[in-house]
A and B are shown apart, each in its own frame.
Chain A
Amino acid sequence: MITTPTPPVLDIQHLHKEFRLRGTGRDRVLTAVDEVSFTIHAGQTVALVGESGSGKSTIARCITRITEPTSGDVLVEGRSIIKMPSRKLIDIYRSLQMVFQDPNSSLDPRKTARATLDEPLRLHTSLTSHQREQRIRELLAEVDLSDHLIDRLPRQLSGGQRQRLGIARAMAVDPRIILLDEPTASLDVSVRGQIIRLLERLQENKGIAYLFISHDLGVVRRISDRVLVMYLGTIVEEGPTEEVFTHPVHPYTQSLLSAAPLVEVGRRRERVRLAGEIPSPVDLPAGCRLVGRCPVATTACATTEPSLLNVTGSHRAACPVALDMQQVPST
C-alpha cells in the first residue's frame, strides 16, 4: 500500500506559491506553499492536515492550476501540467478531478442535477445524448441520489445531497485521482459519516486515489493511508497514518493531535501546548517556522530551517531536536 512499483498518479515536486502583496513602499511576499513535495499512488489516500491558513487549499488549487504556482512541478500520471498550455489541461482533468469544500458555491445555482452531470460528459466523452442520460442516472445511483432528484436545482437539494452531486460530477469522467478539499467541512455532523462512507466505497470499487484535505483528524485517521502535516506552507511531518498518530515526532504534530478531542491516542499523553497564534506567512524569517511557539526550541532553530529527516521507514519529520530526544531513550 505504501510503496508500489508503479509510477505515482500524482507527483508533486517542490511546489511553491508566493503571493505578492502590494503595499506602500516595497511589495511584501506571502509564501503560501513553500517547496512542498509528495507523491500519491493509485488507490491510495493521502491526507493533508493543518490549521486554517497553512496552505492546504492552495496546494489543491495549484495542482489543478486554478491558481498558477510560482515554481515547482506537478505530474499527473507522469505528465507535467505546469508548463502545459491551459487549453491542453482538459486532458488532465480527465484523470484529475476535485470536490470542493462548499457545494453551495461550487454548483451552478441555475443548473439542474442533470445539466450539472451532463456537462463533463458532453465535454469529455463522445457519448450520444441517450448514453449520457443513462450514465447520469448511473452516476446518481453511485452516489446514492435517487432518480427523482434529477431535475432539481441545487437550492432544492439538501446540503448532503449537494455534496453527493459534487462528488458525482467529479466521478463523471472516471478520474484516477480526486482532490477532496475539506469535503465534509460544510456539512452537518450526521451527514459527514455518510459522505465519508460513500467516498470509501467509491475508492474500493474504482481504485481512485484521494488527496484528502481536512482538519478533521478523526476522519483522517479512519480513511487515509498516509498523512502529511502542514504548518505555514511546509510539510513538518509525514508518514503512515497509524505511525504518525501513535508516534508523532514533530512538536507541531504533537500539539495538533493532543488538541483533537476525537482522537483516541491509545496512551495517556501530556497535552502539548504551543504558545501564541499561527504567525503571518508574510516575510517569513529564516529558521524553523515554529520557533517562537515551540516548547523544545533551541537557539539553532532560529537560524537554520530544518529539512525532513527520517524517523522510521517512510515516517519523516522536520525537527532535529525532537528526533534527538526520541533517540535518547531507545539507545
Chain B
Amino acid sequence: MATNVGPIYDPPSLAHPFGTDRLGDDILSRTMSAATLDVSITVAVVLLSVTVGTVWGSVAGFFGSWFDYLTMRILELLNAFPSLLLAMLVIAVAGPGLLNVVFVVALLPLPDYVRLARAEVRSKKNWQFAEAAKLVGRRPVGVLFAHLVPNSLRPLLTYASVNASQVAATVGALGFLGLGIQPGSAEWGSMISRGQDAILSGQWWVAGFPGLMIFLLAAAFHLISDAIADSRDQGGSW
C-alpha cells in the first residue's frame, strides 16, 4: 500500500476522487483494495455457514431422535448470546486474524441455516419421492443427500443472499471495533474507524466512502436474493 501519496485530509478532487485521510493515503485506492478483502471474507463466511448449517440441519431433521434434540439445545444456547457480543468475545479470546474472523462470523448465522435446513428436510422427508428413493435402493443417507437436500437448497440459498448483506455489515463492524483482521490493513470497517474523528471536524469523506461501500455490497446481495426469488416465481429450475 502506497502511503503519503498526497496531502493529508484532502477533500475529493480529480487527483483523489474520494479524498485522502490523515496519513495522506488515497481513500479510493484503499477502498478498492479493501473490496477484495471484504467481499472474499463475506463470501467465505456465507459459504462456510450455509454448508455446515445445511449438513447439520438436514441430518438433524432427517434422523431426529437425540441428535435433533441436542442440535436444538445448542442452537438455543447460541441464540441466547447477542451475536456481535459473542463474536467480540470469541475474537478477544482467539485473537484477531483472517481465519478467526471467518469462523466467528460464520457462527453467527449458523443457527438460522441449521433451523432452515432442518425444517425443509422434516417437511419433505415423508414426501413420496423420498419413499420412492428408498424403493429404488437408496440407503437413508442417500435419500437425504441425493434427494432431500437438493430439493431444500432454494430457500437456503435465498436466505444466504439476504444473510450475506448482514455478514458484510458484521465484518465491517468488527473491523470498526478493531477486532477484525490485522490493524492497519485496508478493510472498510477499520477505515471507518480511522475516519470517525474526522467526521466531527468536517472531513466526512474519510469514513463516508468506506461506509457507502458496505452499503452498496449489502444492497448488491439483496439484488441477488430478489433475482433468486423472481426465478422461483417464474418456475425456474431453482
Contacts and interface: CB of A to CB of B under 8 A. Distances in A.
Interface of A: 64, 66, 87, 90, 93-94, 97-98, 100, 102, 105-111, 119-120, 123-124, 153, 155, 166, 169-170, 173
B73 interface: no
B16 interface: no
B151 A110 contact: yes
Contact of B134 (A66, A105, A107): A66
Contact of A153 (B131, B139, B237): B237
A98 to B, nearest CB: 6
A173 B237 CA distance: 29
A100 B131 CA distance: 10
B98 interface: no
A105 B129 CA distance: 6
A108 B131 contact: no
Given A100-B131, A155-B235, A173-B137, 12 more contacts: A66-B134, A66-B135, A93-B136, A94-B137, A98-B135, A106-B128, A106-B131, A106-B132, A109-B129, A110-B151, A119-B138, A120-B137
B229 interface: no
Nearest to A64: B135
Interface residues of B, number: 19
Interface in B122-154: 127-129, 131-139, 146-147, 150-151
A66 B137 contact: no
A170 B131 CA distance: 13
A110 B235 contact: no
A120 B136 contact: yes
A106 B128 CA distance: 4
A198 to B, nearest CB: 19
B129 A107 contact: yes
A318 B150 CA distance: 49
17 contacts: A87-B139, A90-B139, A93-B137, A102-B128, A105-B127, A106-B132, A108-B150, A110-B238, A119-B133, A119-B136, A119-B137, A123-B136, A124-B137, A153-B237, A155-B235, A166-B132, A173-B137
Contacts of B131: 66, 100, 106
A93 B136 CA distance: 7
Contacts of B128: 100, 102, 105-106
Given A100-B128, A105-B128, A110 B150 contact: yes
Nearest to A154: B129
A124 B129 CA distance: 18
Closest 3 CB pairs of A and B: A123-B137, A106-B128, A105-B128
Interface string B77-90: 00000000000000
Nearest to B138: A123
Contacts of B138: 119, 123
A283 B150 CA distance: 41
A152 B46 CA distance: 32
B129 A106 contact: yes
A109 B134 CA distance: 16
A173 B137 CA distance: 10
A153 B163 CA distance: 30
A30 B39 CA distance: 57
Nearest to A110: B150
Contacts of B134: 66
Contacts of B136: 93, 119-120, 123, 169
Contacts of B127: 105
A140 B86 CA distance: 57
Given A90-B137, A119-B138, A124-B137, A107 B132 contact: yes
B135 A93 contact: yes
Given A90-B137, A110-B238, A169 B150 contact: no
Interface string B86-100: 000000000000000
B132 A169 contact: yes
Contacts of B147: 108, 111
